[in-house]
């Protein structure tokens, strides 16, 4: 075995990407797999955005750009943050990256160090813990109980803060739970965060997929948090642009400059054509967002109904955002099928892939091993067929 860097050696593959890759491989081998694993909209990128990219390509805009994005792109991001979130940023406070993931990884790497603790309310997106570990800091997982709608209880937050705590990562609407924090919940958390003086990373990637009105922004609820806050976002979900790789971070100048230096050394600017497409996405007509959200809303209703009919699945709260459901499957733990035991969410997901040819993601790597994540970013027909298959397999499980 070769000797790897200690932190890289400990790095696990992303569970969501692994599930999606397995589904793709099986499909390529001719297996009729329905995937409810992917974290990406099934819609095509809107035509006006593709057209902007074609124009950029024809005009030869294929060279390096400034590392943190062109001035025009940063202007478009600035406009977006003002228009959608009521937040004022300067150009020097903005960095564009190859996806929200890269923006977040670079900010986390720039801010945190060995000996630091970073609070991550769980269930949480699989990459947050990995990014914090890579920085050398330690992730402090704070459980958000299902009974609390998977949101962070202020008392638990208070108890998790130690003299070593330097930051927190919040994500609303949440991947994987779909939980959306209300303005009053954010207000409660803001008081504690302000007092503790932590870096506050707000992952707003699913902001436009909120079903009960706009998801409130933490820095709008408590503007004083903005001085130590980062608005982290991506065009992947809002504009169906996952493959284009464009996201951004907005926050205090010095930290943005540090993260940009890191980006300059380890990758460079986000794709030049994508940057031009992103300007069109952010500044052009925004009606596609609404159309996609309404389609997701229709699917959410179907998925909630179908999940609740499966014996052993429990889904007490209708998720308020994103395009995932995160049912509890505790009642199925300890059952088995043909000698294969359902030991946890991951084992159940593996069984469902093999026996039902439906790809879902086990909850283990989200910090919730008695849950599974199902994405409804696929057609109603696919969803119905997937649930028919899952029901048939669950009916065969034995104690």
Binding site for ligand PLP (CB under 6 A): 39, 99-101, 125, 171, 175, 203, 205, 234, 236, 242, 247
H-assigned helices in the chain: 6-9, 15-28, 47-58, 71-85, 100-111, 126-135, 154-160, 183-196, 218-221, 253-266, 272-283, 287-309, 345-356, 380-396
Minimum CB separation from ligand PLP for residue 203, in Å?
A: 5
C-alpha 367/C-alpha 346 separation (Å) is: 11
Nearer Cβ to ligand PLP (247/367): 247
Nearer Cβ to ligand PLP (68/356): 68
Nearer Cβ to ligand PLP (15/332): 15
What are the contacts of 213-216 at 24+ separation with CB within 8 A? 214/84, 215/172, 215/173, 215/180, 215/181, 215/321, 216/181, 216/182, 216/183, 216/186
C-alpha 181/C-alpha 193 separation (Å) is: 15
Nearer Cβ to ligand PLP (190/238): 238
Minimum CB separation from ligand PLP for residue 125, in Å?
A: 4
Nearer Cβ to ligand PLP (41/369): 41
Between the CA of residue 246 and those of 38, 39, 241, 272, 341, what are the distances in Å? 18, 15, 8, 10, 41
Nearer Cβ to ligand PLP (204/397): 204
C-alpha 229/C-alpha 206 separation (Å) is: 18
- Among all chains, which residue has been given the structure tokens 């805009």? 61
Minimum CB separation from ligand PLP for residue 368, in Å?
A: 15
C-alpha 234/C-alpha 203 separation (Å) is: 9
Minimum CB separation from ligand PLP for residue 58, in Å?
A: 26
C-alpha 282/C-alpha 46 separation (Å) is: 12
Minimum CB separation from ligand PLP for residue 39, in Å?
A: 4
Minimum CB separation from ligand PLP for residue 392, in Å?
A: 30
Residue 108 CA to its chain's centroid (Å)? 15
Nearer Cβ to ligand PLP (281/397): 281
- What phi, psi does 288 have (nearest 5°)? -65, -35
Nearest to 23 by CA among 358, 375, 300, 265: 358
Minimum CB separation from ligand PLP for residue 128, in Å?
A: 8
Minimum CB separation from ligand PLP for residue 239, in Å?
A: 11
C-alpha 304/C-alpha 309 separation (Å) is: 9
Nearer Cβ to ligand PLP (240/356): 240
């Amino acid at each position: 075995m070769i000797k790897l860097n200690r932190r890289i050696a400990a790095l696990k593959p992303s569970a969501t990407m692994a599930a999606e890759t397995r589904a793709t491989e099986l499909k390529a081998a001719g297996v009729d797999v329905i995937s409810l694993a992917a974290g990406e909209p099934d819609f095509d990128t809107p035509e006006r955005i593709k057209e902007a990219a074609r124009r950029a390509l024809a005009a030869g805009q294929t060279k390096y750009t400034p590392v943190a994005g062109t001035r025009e792109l940063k202007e478009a991001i600035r406009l977006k943050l003002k228009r959608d979130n009521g937040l004022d940023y300067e150009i020097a406070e903005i960095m564009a990256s190859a996806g929200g993931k890269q923006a977040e990884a670079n900010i986390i790497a720039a801010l945190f160090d060995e000996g630091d603790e970073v609070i991550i309310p769980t269930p949480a997106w699989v990459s947050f813990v990995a990014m914090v570990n890579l920085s050398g800091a330690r992730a402090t997982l704070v459980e958000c109980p299902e009974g609390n709608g998977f949101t962070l209880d202020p008392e638990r937050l208070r108890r998790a803060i130690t003299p070593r705590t330097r930051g927190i990562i919040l994500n609303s609407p949440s991947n994987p739970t779909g939980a959306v924090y209300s303005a009053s919940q954010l207000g409660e958390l803001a008081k504690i965060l302000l007092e503790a003086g932590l870096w506050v990373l707000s992952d707003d990637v699913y902001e436009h997929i909120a079903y009960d009105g706009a998801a409130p922004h933490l820095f709008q609820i408590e503007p004083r948090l903005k001085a130590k806050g980062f608005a982290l976002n991506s065009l992947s979900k809002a504009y169906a642009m996952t493959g284009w790789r464009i996201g951004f971070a907005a926050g205090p100048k010095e930290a943005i400059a540090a993260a940009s230096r890191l980006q300059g050394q380890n990758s460079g600017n986000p794709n030049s054509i994508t940057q031009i497409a992103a300007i069109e996405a952010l500044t052009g007509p925004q009606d596609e967002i609404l159309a996609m959200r309404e389609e997701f809303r229709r699917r959410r209703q179907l998925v909630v109904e179908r999940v609740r009919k499966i014996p052993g699945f429990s889904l007490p709260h209708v998720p308020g955002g994103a395009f995932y459901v995160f049912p509890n499957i505790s009642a199925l733990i300890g059952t088995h099928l043909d000698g294969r035991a359902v030991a946890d969410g991951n084992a159940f997901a593996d069984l469902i892939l093999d026996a039902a040819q439906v790809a879902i993601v086990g909850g283990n790597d989200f910090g919730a091993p008695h849950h599974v994540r199902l994405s409804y970013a696929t057609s109603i027909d696919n969803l119905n067929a997937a649930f028919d298959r899952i029901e048939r397999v669950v009916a065969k499980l034995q104690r």
